[in-house]
Amino acid sequence: MKFATPVFVTALLAASAVPAAAQQAAAQQKSEQTAKQDPDAMVCKTLEVTGSRFPKKQCHTREDWARMESDAKTLMRDVPGRVMPCDGECVPLPPGDPSGHGH
């Protein structure tokens, strides 16, 4: 019976460690969810650079990333129907002039 006591103590310690580990995992998951919702949290992304084999790391807040994505979508939505005149130097058309004449 000398071995029964250490085995019992080991089992008891292991059983008490499981709830602590579960609580720690739950707390970590909750903090990650909170961080995902925080618009001021910094997020770093690795972006591919055209003409280079080396990616570039950029860090911005979640709010900035969302704004940049929205701006890019708006630009891509507006560009296909627009004609840009180029007389030596290309300039974007004013927002209300879809004719391409700039007058």
Instruction: Going from the first residue of the chain to its last (103 residues), give the mean pLDDT of each consecutive group of 10, the final group possibly shorter.
Output: 56 56 72 75 95 95 95 83 63 61 51
User: Which residues, other chains included, contact 55 with Cβ-Cβ below 8 Å and sequence gap of 6+?
Assistant: 46, 47, 48, 49
Give residue 88's pLDDT.
64
Give residue 42's pLDDT.
94
Is pTM beyond 0.95 here? no
Reduced to 3 states (helix: H, G, I; strand: E, B; else coil), residue 90 is: strand
